[in-house]
Amino acid sequence: MKHLLSINDLNVEEITKILDRANYHAKVNRQVNKKQPQLSGRTLINLFVETSTRTLISFELAALRLSMDVINMNVEKSSITVKGESLADTVMTLNAMHPDFIVIRHNVSGQVQELAGYMDCSVINAGDGTNEHPSQALVDAAAIRNSLGKIAGLNIAICGDILHSRVAHSNINMFTRLGAQVRVIAPKAFLPGDDSLREKKVEVFTDMKQGLKDVDVIMMLRVQKERMEASEVPSEKQFHADYGLTKEKLKIARPGAKVMAPGPINRGVEIDSDVADDRSRSLILEQVEIGVSVRQAILEHLLA
């Protein structure tokens, strides 16, 4: 049994192996016949307490393309919602059915790690509150490496709602370990109030124009309204003016700098459409495409 609860569960060698294997799957996934037999007979259950589009569908496709059986549990119609069953009892029930994987997304930080203690199968954290999203970090690393040929030595800026973003937390941990220089760009209200960024040698900017200077990759994060009190939500117009990525602001970065966003994106808030849709600069759709392949590689790695 092996879980993927945090990006720190993987060492650098394992990360590299997963990214290499993902590129193999990416080639197969562009063929007419995409199905492979590697994990035939295995079972994956998607348990998403919090809603998802990209992560849920990519895990489902990844499993199906490796010939697995897949169950997407409908939480709204389950005993959790309808009959008041605890989530712990639910996962113990699922565990008794002997799946090989349970992929869990939850809106409470640390909940997936707690639930993994009840499981005999491999548990994959598909995002827990504001804590981590390890598979998305691997997806982002694959997209950058495939586009720019490396990660080590790059200047990567993560801009937007750092405080509430599990994607930011996983990516900061991973990119710094892979040798990139990471900086964050955000208003003070969207930055951690402790020394965690400084301890990881992450540069902090509250002025976007200063923060974009000389960067190779810009990752834009949406404002996570669902994790805030109403009084904390900023004006969309003001946020766009100060921290939205426009073509003019993009000119400050290095020539050819790539733009990313884990999605969903809010056009006209954290990013303009003419930037998001510029396929010469934007890697947003490449992130979606490689996402299936990376998650295929994760499933194989955990059963290896």
What CATH number is given to the structural domain containing 128?
Answer: 3.40.50.1370
3-state secondary structure of 243: helix
Q: Does 93 reside within a domain?
A: yes
pLDDT digits (tens, 9 = 90+) for 85-118: 899 999 999 999 999 999 999 999 999 999 999 9
Task: Tell me how many degrees the CA angle 225-242-159 measures, rounded to the nearest 5.
Answer: 60
Same domain membership, residue 141 and residue 128: no
Rounded to 10°, the helix 284-303/134-148 angle is 120
Q: Does 2 reside within a domain?
A: no
> In this predicted structure, what is the pLDDT of residue 78?
83
Tell which residue, 236, 261, 257, has the closest CA to residue 247: 257
**Residue 198 structural domain:** 134-283
**Cβ contacts of residue 279 below 8 Å, gap of 6+?**
285
Tell which residue, 56, 68, 63, has the closest CA to residue 25: 63
Q: Which two tokens stand for residue 110?
A: 């640390």
> In this predicted structure, what is the pLDDT of residue 76?
83
Same domain membership, residue 200 and residue 179: yes
Asked if 37 and 67 count as a contact pair (C-beta separation under 8 A), the reply is: yes
Q: Does 125 reside within a domain?
A: yes
Task: Tell me how many degrees the CA angle 153-155-159 measures, rounded to the nearest 5.
Answer: 150
pLDDT digits (tens, 9 = 90+) for 252-297: 999 999 999 998 999 999 999 999 999 999 999 999 999 999 999 9
String of DSSP letters for 38-75: TTTT-EEEEEESS--SHHHHHHHHHHHHTT-EEEEE-G
> In this predicted structure, what is the pLDDT of residue 140?
98
Question: Which positions of the chain have pLDDT values less than 50?
Answer: none
- d(CA 4, CA 230) in angstroms, rounded, equals 33
Residue linked to tokens 């400084």: 198
Number of domains into which the chain is organized: 2
- d(CA 141, CA 151) in angstroms, rounded, equals 7
> In this predicted structure, what is the pLDDT of residue 28?
98
Same domain membership, residue 120 and residue 157: no
Whether this prediction's pTM lies above 0.85 is answered by yes
